[in-house]
Every structure is written in structure tokens, then in C-alpha cells.
Amino acid sequence: WLLDSACTRSIACNKQDFTHYTTCEHVIEGFSKSVGIGRGTISLSYVLGETTRSGTVHDIIHCPDAPFNLISLARVT
């Protein structure tokens, strides 16, 4: 996962990462106008200092063509 201050939506490329999923179509600019085929929720674990924490990111677009997963900083802050 990469934190991205320029993207307006969080994007995930692997459907199996979603804990909640709904099929939809969403055009994504920036990945050669790729198409998102679903959206949903993903639970993540992350390390902050010496502590492992967990969190949930909602409204993530599923885009199988994306080269990596992005978390939109604008949506989580």
C-alpha cells in the first residue's frame, strides 16, 4: 500500500483484499483511464512506531489494472 496525496480515491487491485464488496463501474484517470469494477471496504494492519495497529478504509475502488494499491490521504485525514 502507498499513501498518495494526489489521488482523490483509494484504489486496490486485488478483489480478495476486500471485506465488503459491491460491483460498480468507475473510470479512473491517471492509470490510462482504467475502469474500476467494484468498490468496498478493506481492513489493514500497519506499524506506527513500535506498535501494530489496525484500521478500516471504506469506499475503495477495485481496479485490477492498477499497478499498486493506493490510499488517498485526502479521504483518510
Q: Tell me what pLDDT residue 31 has.
A: 59
Q: What is the mean pLDDT of residues 55-70?
A: 93
| Cell output for 14 | 486485488
Q: Are 62 and 18 in contact (CB under 8 A)?
A: yes
Q: What is the pLDDT of residue 32?
A: 65
| pLDDT value at 75 more than 80 | yes
Cell of 34: 482504467
pLDDT per residue as tens digits for the range 28-49: 776 567 889 999 999 999 898 9
State how many domains the chain has: 1
**Averaged over 3-12, what is the pLDDT?**
92
Segments forming the whole domain that contains residue 72? 2-76
Contacts of residue 8, defined as CB under 8 A and 6 or more positions apart, other chains included, come to: 72, 74, 75
16: left (phi over 0), alpha (psi -120 to 50) or beta: alpha
Cβ-based neighbour number of residue 74 at 10 Å? 13
